[in-house]
């Protein structure tokens, strides 16, 4: 990769025929017609069904497990318990703190303790119920501060090295205390994000099969085939080359399928024990227990400003509620601070984050991993400052803009940066300048900005190999086969590679087969997380495609006796750029190239730059090849009598570098804004401490995600600031656009009715209480009427 | 996935056969199935036999009988049909609105009016999987001995969650019940009892065949107001049916009768009392709004049996009542 991005901003060739256009996703027709085969649609001869027995206690020692009654039932083939999986694992190699099934202790209501394989699902359910588990019930801890205080007396996770402290990070850049002391204005705030889950429509499902030669195949609804492959190998004690992991088409993931889960180990082990294929499909309730959703965070922020609105220092103290296991928690703890330093210049910055174990379903990554919560705090702080200083909140953000080719206070190197354009686009589209001052009491506009990574420069387990690789094979029929390790989880990664192949080689999308995420067929890719795929897999694909284009162009050029640079591959044809009458079918061009080169195959790979971060411990975590930028304006109507917040519009401007496929980018932007909107207003992933820590409602009736009717008008405004490190300049578009949703709505509520919602979700009772508290203060004359009471 | 318990399903085509099948010990009725099937998946009961009413065409008629002064709605009429039926909309707009607000379009296409009337009571501690309930040791309604809503309570307070029941009660409707011994007609007002375990007086051998709604004899205005977090799919968290009978067909006319029925409190709908004092007042007199809202607030005390804080829901009852009446007055 070139090192001076200013001189190498990617420009699109005038002959671009696919990049930036609207495409039908490669699997769209199958999905729409209902014929796509998801994991649960797979059935093998002789297949057994598994069921996992789960702990009804939030914290309990397992004294004994007696499976004799279950095993005596007709149709029951095998039972496994924690003793069958003694090796602990964890997605982060430094924190292996969970077993496939609980070995000594169950750590939350729903923790798996045994699994059974039976002739059908009904028999498996009955058999699981017949397994007798004796528990010694221990005192559960649901509050992270209490958990930290009881590290010595009541440690939760037996593998934990520091009691109930799962991870602690304290980093300071510049002199924060001096900055705060010198500031003209200091905003102090305490924010609470209550916790949400992904609610992907497809529940987790896994199927395992053992070939007669001992090869084990696992099909799983995962978004990280490769890490699953590694952990299966480790826990089952099977060499990786004896294991095959296949990811069938997914019905959503959002981060909820980005690490191994109990069912994958259980189906593999049960298949090995019984010699039969075994499948487990989670119930919706089990999906809520598997969780790995967005961490609850209590965030105490102090932000210092100059009188003209510049950020001189930011000080963040965060307590993170991790649940029973580490999951990605080490990274989450870093991200809770490391990703808050852009898109703004700040004089100094310090964060102190502690993640605690509690007796709840483990938290992990959800769309915008670790940084959606601090973004809420950061952006509301800015809004409070704007009000205090009398500066327009968009203008205040402009004044603090980092700009392109810059460096954050924590030493991340930023390449392209379209944040100012994002602000301008939402400002114009929402009619901010004309309308904001005229909206009556009860209606308001709110702004928030954000940034996100396009993958991380350092992989989860240390290695120097490429992070992504793609193989492309052409043949004389004129088609292309693309072998991509990337997990398409609905975000369109298979379409993305097809678009690049099409652009470079002239093959129409209909003639491109993308084979993805099958460890026997496709190269290793690290998976669908951290918004890494478009940049990393895209670059790998582009490299392979360019190599092939060179071969094909040369073969054509040789036969036409022109320089290869004059050969264009476009729209199923090869043609002479300077004499377009000279053209052949693409199949003929491939034929000639195959004559010259033999089988037309090329590989491409991508590795990340390793010079884009600061030289301090932890400085690599959160460093990315390129950063996306987003701004939202939300328009709300708040009912002051009921506290109901009706979000009318969200304008989303997102700098994705380059939109390779426009509709898919817009879809990601809308989906992100929708998801953040749901988290802002109604979603609550909580347990009930008054009832022994049971989940407050593990169903889609009780865990409310917005319906179509509840969803605001979403306006996607694509901003393109091409980055030298992305394919055609592309950066991410799948997670960044979520971040401003929550603070933009919070700030809009303030604009509407003059109350600060510093705790999520903004449910009617909470909003109403805040309005009543303000009304009481107005009545005593402490504060004046918001918007002069103008209705 | 959540599985149904093992059971047989019978699909009789006439009522007598259905009644005979219902004599099977433990048999349960299923109409649209949108309530009982999820409940069975949660193992709230394991009947050996479901007697389906789906094939009994006689239950699907809507017949207006001007002489008898009644609209007869078959128990098997779907909620979609109820909400879209021209005569229902003309005669009983609040019923059409309530039926049209149940759950979601797909559920309304399956669910029936008879089923909605006989909807089981709901509670946050009951309508969960059997695994979940085992983690809290069950409750009065599900294999346990305690109530999690009212500590120390001996009486189940699971909530009446039907959208249509408060409306039917406000309209003075009655239910026709068939059993092998004959037919009886029970006013909706007498059908429900304050017991979440079994909140109706229906006998095990009876089938609700018909809902009879008396035709209006006076001009009137009716409304149904429901609050739930989402605009679709949710059960009501707050539910009020209102009916104002008028001397003349205008909102300035004097009230001859006022009926207000509130759902989602305990197991029984609550008819708000002391409304007869409003008779003789003009409907559009602002005092009417105030008086009705006050009485609703004073007499209705939501419980922690459904989500969202009970004090909030209580505070919201008069707000929604005021708005519903104001909208009726404004509509003229």
- Those of residues 141-200 in B touching chain A at CB distance below 8 A are 148
Task: Please judge whether A121 and B3 are an interchain contact, meaning their C-beta atoms are less than 8 angstroms apart.
Answer: yes
Which candidate from A692, A708, A709 shows the least CB-CB separation from B136?
A692
Residue A106 pLDDT level (bands cut at 50, 70, 90): very high
CA closest to B124 among chain A residues? A697
Range of the domain at B21: 1-53
- Those of residues 242-281 in A touching chain B at CB distance below 8 A are 281
Chain A interface mutation, best of B135, B151, B225, B233, highest count of A Cβ atoms under 10 Å:
B135
Q: In the structure encoding, which two tokens stand for residue A410, read together?
A: 């924590």
A284 contact residues in B (CB cutoff 8 A):
2
Q: Where does a domain end: B15, B30, B53? A: B53
- Those of residues 188-207 in A touching chain B at CB distance below 8 A are 203
Tell me, yes or no, whether A209 and A263 share the same domain: yes
Q: What are B41-92's pLDDT values in tens digits?
A: 999 999 999 999 999 999 999 999 999 999 999 999 999 999 999 999 999 9
**A764–B contact, CB cutoff 8 A:** yes
Domain assignment present for B140:
no
A702 contact residues in B (CB cutoff 8 A):
124, 307
Q: What are A642-685's pLDDT values in tens digits?
A: 999 999 999 999 999 999 999 999 999 999 999 999 999 999 99
Tell me, yes or no, whether A634 and A667 share the same domain: yes
Task: Please judge whether B319 and A763 are an interchain contact, meaning their C-beta atoms are less than 8 angstroms apart.
Answer: no
Number of domains in chain B: 2
- For every residue of B227-286, DSSP letters joined together read E-SSSSSPPPSEEEEEEEEESSSSTTSBEEEEEEEEESSSSS-EE--S-GGGTTSBTT-H
Q: Where does a domain end: B35, B53, B71? A: B53
Range of the domain at A520: 5-36+465-606
Consecutive H or E run containing A373: helix A372-389
Q: What are B9-53's pLDDT values in tens digits?
A: 999 999 999 999 999 999 999 999 999 999 999 999 999 999 999
Domain assignment present for A196:
no
Residue A790 pLDDT level (bands cut at 50, 70, 90): low
Instruction: Provide CB contacts within 8 A for A661, sequence distance 6+.
Output: A20, A21, A22, A23, A492, A495, A496, A499
Task: Please judge whether B131 and A285 are an interchain contact, meaning their C-beta atoms are less than 8 angstroms apart.
Answer: yes
Domain assignment present for B133:
no
Cα–Cα separations (whole angstroms), residue A747 to A33, A373, A387, A400, A493: 42, 15, 11, 18, 34
The pLDDT assigned to A710 comes to 97
Rg of chain A, C-alpha, whole Å: 27
Tell me, yes or no, whether A477 and A365 share the same domain: no
Q: In the structure encoding, which two tokens stand for residue A402, read together?
A: 């980092």
Please state, in angstroms and rounded to a whole number, the distance separating the CA atoms of residues B158 and B164.
Answer: 17
Chain B: nearest CA to A129, how far in angstroms? 10
Q: Where does a domain end: A606, A623, A657? A: A606
Q: Where does a domain end: A606, A631, A655? A: A606
For residue A595, give the CATH number of its domain. Answer: 3.30.365.10
Domain assignment present for A187:
no
Domain assignment present for A184:
no
3-class SS at B41? helix
Please state, in angstroms and rounded to a whole number, the distance separating the CA atoms of residues A266 and A116.
Answer: 9
Domain assignment present for B195:
no
Domain assignment present for A164:
no
Q: What are A446-477's pLDDT values in tens digits?
A: 999 999 999 999 999 999 999 999 999 999 99
Tell me, yes or no, whether A596 and A646 share the same domain: no
Share of chain A above pLDDT 90, in %: 97
For residue B278, give the CATH number of its domain. Answer: 3.30.390.50
Tell me, yes or no, whether A500 and A395 share the same domain: no
Tell me, yes or no, whether A83 and A218 share the same domain: yes
Number of domains in chain A: 3
Please state, in angstroms and rounded to a whole number, the distance separating the CA atoms of residues B99 and B107.
Answer: 11
For residue A264, give the CATH number of its domain. Answer: 3.90.1170.50
**A221–B contact, CB cutoff 8 A:** no
ipTM of the complex: 0.97
A56 contact residues in B (CB cutoff 8 A):
131, 134-135
Domain assignment present for B85:
no
Q: Where does a domain end: B53, B72, B89? A: B53
Q: Are A246 and A518 in contact (CB under 8 A)?
A: yes
* pLDDT of A117 higher than 60: yes
Q: What is the mean pLDDT of residues A148-160?
A: 97
Size of interface A-B (CB pairs under 8 A): 78
Task: Please judge whether A692 and B128 are an interchain contact, meaning their C-beta atoms are less than 8 angstroms apart.
Answer: no
Domain assignment present for A155:
no
CA closest to A280 among chain B residues? B1
Domain assignment present for B292:
yes
Q: In the structure encoding, which two tokens stand for residue A768, read together?
A: 């109403």
Task: Please judge whether B312 and A764 are an interchain contact, meaning their C-beta atoms are less than 8 angstroms apart.
Answer: yes
Domain assignment present for A191:
no
The closest alpha carbon to A452, from A419, A483, A495, A420, belongs to A419
Domain assignment present for A437:
yes
Tell me, yes or no, whether A753 and A667 share the same domain: yes
Instruction: Tell me which DSSP letter residue A41 carries.
Output: G
Cβ-count burial A550-560 (b if 16+ within 10 Å, e if not) = ebbbbbbbebb
Tell me, yes or no, whether A531 and A421 share the same domain: no
A710 contact residues in B (CB cutoff 8 A):
230-232
CA closest to B104 among chain A residues? A707
Residue A15 pLDDT level (bands cut at 50, 70, 90): confident
* pLDDT of A770 higher than 60: yes
B227 contact residues in A (CB cutoff 8 A):
642
* pLDDT of A789 higher than 90: no
Q: In the structure encoding, which two tokens stand for residue A496, read together?
A: 């993305």
Tell me, yes or no, whether A693 and A771 share the same domain: yes
How many residues are listed for chain A in this entry?
791
Domain assignment present for B250:
yes
Q: What are B162-216's pLDDT values in tens digits?
A: 999 999 999 999 999 999 999 999 999 999 999 999 999 999 999 999 999 999 9
């Amino acid at each position: 990769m070139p090192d001076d991005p200013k001189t190498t901003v990617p420009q699109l060739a005038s002959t671009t025929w696919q990049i930036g256009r609207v495409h039908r996703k490669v699997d769209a027709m199958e999905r729409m017609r209902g014929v796509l085969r998801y994991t649960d649609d797979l059935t093998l001869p002789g297949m057994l069904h598994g069921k996992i027995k789960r702990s009804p206690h939030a914290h309990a020692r397992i004294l004994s497990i007696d499976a004799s009654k279950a095993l005596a039932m007709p149709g029951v083939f095998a039972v496994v318990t924690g003793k069958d999986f003694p090796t602990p694992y964890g997605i982060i190699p430094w924190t292996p703190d969970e077993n496939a099934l609980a070995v000594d202790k169950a750590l939350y209501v729903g923790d798996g303790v045994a699994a059974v394989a039976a002739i059908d699902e009904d028999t498996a359910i009955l058999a699981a119920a017949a397994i007798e588990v004796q528990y010694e019930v221990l005192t559960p801890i649901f509050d992270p501060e209490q958990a930290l205080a009881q590290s010595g007396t009541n440690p939760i996770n037996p593998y934990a090295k520091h009691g109930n402290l799962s991870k602690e990070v304290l980093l300071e850049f510049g002199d924060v205390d001096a900055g705060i002391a010198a500031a003209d204005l200091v905003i102090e705030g305490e924010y609470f994000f209550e916790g949400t889950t992904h609610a992907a429509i497809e529940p987790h499902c896994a199927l395992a099969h053992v070939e007669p030669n001992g090869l084990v195949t696992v099909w799983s609804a995962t978004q990280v085939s490769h890490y699953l492959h590694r952990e299966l190998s480790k826990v089952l004690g099977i060499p990786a080359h004896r294991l095959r992991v296949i990811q069938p088409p997914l019905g959503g993931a959002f981060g909820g399928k980005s690490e191994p889960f109990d069912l994958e180990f259980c189906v593999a082990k049960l298949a090995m024990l019984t010699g039969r294929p075994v499948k487990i499909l989670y119930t919706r309730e089990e999906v809520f227990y598997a969780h790995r959703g967005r961490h609850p965070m209590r965030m105490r922020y102090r932000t210092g400003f100059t009188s003209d609105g510049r950020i001189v220092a930011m000080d963040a103290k965060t307590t993170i509620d991790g649940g029973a296991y580490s999951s990605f928690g080490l990274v989450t703890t870093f991200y809770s601070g490391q990703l808050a330093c852009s898109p703004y210049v700040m004089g100094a910055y310090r964060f102190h984050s502690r993640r605690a174990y509690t007796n709840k379903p483990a938290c992990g990554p959800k769309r915008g991993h670790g940084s959606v919560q601090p973004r809420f705090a950061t952006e509301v702080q800015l809004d409070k400052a704007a009000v205090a200083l009398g500066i327009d909140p968009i203008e205040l953000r402009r004044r603090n803009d980092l700009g392109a080719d810059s460096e954050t206070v924590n030493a991340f190197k930023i390449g392209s940066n379209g944040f100012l354009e994002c602000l301008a686009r939402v400002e114009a589209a929402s009619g901010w300048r004309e309308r904001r001052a005229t909206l009556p009491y009860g209606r308001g506009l709110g702004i928030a900005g954000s940034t996100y990574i396009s993958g991380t420069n350092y992989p989860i387990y240390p290695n120097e190999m490429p992070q992504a690789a793609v193989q492309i094979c052409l043949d004389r029929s004129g088609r292309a086969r693309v072998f991509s390790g990337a997990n398409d989880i609905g975000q369109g990664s298979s379409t993305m590679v097809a678009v690049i192949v099409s652009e470079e080689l002239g093959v129409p999308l209909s003639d491109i087969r993308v084979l993805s995420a099958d460890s026997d067929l496709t190269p290793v890719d690290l998976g669908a997380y951290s918004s890494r795929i478009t940049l990393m897999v895209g670059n790998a694909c582009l490299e392979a495609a360019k190599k092939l284009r060179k071969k094909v162009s040369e073969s054509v050029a040789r036969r036409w006796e022109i320089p290869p640079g004059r050969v264009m591959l476009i729209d199923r044809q090869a043609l002479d750029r300077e004499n377009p009458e000279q053209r052949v079918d693409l199949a003929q061009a491939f034929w000639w190239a195959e004559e010259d080169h033999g089988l037309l195959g090329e590989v491409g790979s991508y590795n990340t730059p390793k010079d884009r971060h600061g030289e301090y411990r932890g400085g690599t975590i959160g460093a990315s090849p390129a950063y996306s930028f987003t701004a939202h304006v939300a328009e709300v109507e708040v009912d002051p009598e009921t506290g109901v917040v009706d979000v009318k519009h969200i304008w989303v401007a997102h700098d994705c570098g380059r939109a390779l496929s426009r509709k898919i980018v817009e879809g990601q932007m809308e989906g992100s804004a929708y998801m953040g909107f749901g988290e802002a207003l109604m979603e609550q992933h909580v347990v009930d401490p008054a009832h022994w820590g049971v989940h407050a409602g593990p169903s889609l009736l009780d865990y409310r995600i917005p319906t179509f009717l509840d969803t605001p008008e979403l306006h996607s405004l694509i901003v393109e600031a091409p980055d030298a490190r992305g394919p055609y300049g592309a950066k991410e578009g799948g997670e960044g656009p979520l971040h401003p949703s929550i603070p933009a709505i919070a700030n809009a509520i303030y604009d509407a009715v003059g109350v600060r919602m510093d705790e999520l979700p903004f449910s009617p009772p909470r909003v109403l209480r805040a309005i009543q508290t303000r009304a009481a203060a107005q009545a005593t004359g402490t504060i004046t009427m918001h918007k002069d009471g103008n209705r | 996935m959540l599985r149904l318990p093992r059971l047989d399903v019978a699909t009789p085509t006439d009522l007598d056969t259905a009644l005979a099948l219902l004599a099977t010990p433990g048999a349960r009725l299923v109409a649209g199935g949108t309530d009982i099937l999820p409940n069975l998946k949660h193992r709230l009961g394991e009947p050996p036999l479901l007697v389906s009413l789906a094939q009994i065409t006689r239950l699907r008629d809507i017949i207006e009988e001007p002489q008898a002064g009644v609209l007869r709605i078959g128990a098997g009429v779907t909620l979609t049909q109820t909400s879209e039926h021209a005569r229902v909309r003309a005669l009983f707009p609040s019923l059409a609105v309530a039926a049209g607000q149940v759950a979601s379009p797909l559920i309304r296409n399956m669910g029936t009016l008879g089923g909605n009337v006989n909807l089981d009571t709901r509670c946050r501690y009951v309508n969960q999987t059997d695994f979940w309930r085992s983690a809290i040791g069950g409750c009065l309604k599900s294999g346990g001995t305690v109530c999690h809503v009212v500590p120390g309570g001996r009486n189940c307070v699971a909530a009446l969650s039907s959208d249509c029941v408060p409306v039917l009660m406000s309209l003075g409707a009655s239910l026709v019940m068939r059993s092998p011994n004959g037919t009886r007609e029970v006013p909706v007002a007498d059908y429900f009892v304050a017991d979440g375990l079994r909140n109706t007086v229906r006998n095990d051998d009876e089938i609700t065949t018909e809902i009879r709604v008396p035709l209006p004899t006076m001009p009137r205005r009716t409304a149904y107001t429901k609050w739930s977090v989402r605009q679709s799919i949710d059960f009501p968290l707050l539910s009020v049916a209102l009916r104002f009978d008028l001397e003349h067909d205008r909102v300035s006319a004097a009230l001859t009768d006022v009926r207000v029925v509130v759902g989602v409190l305990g197991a029984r709908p609550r008819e708000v009392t002391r409304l007869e004092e409003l008779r003789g007042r003009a409907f559009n007199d602002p005092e009417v709004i105030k008086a009705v809202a006050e009485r609703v607030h004073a007499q209705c005390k939501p419980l922690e049996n459904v989500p969202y804080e009970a004090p909030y829901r209580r505070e919201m009852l008069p707000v929604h009542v005021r708005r519903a009446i104001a909208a009726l007055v404004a509509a003229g």
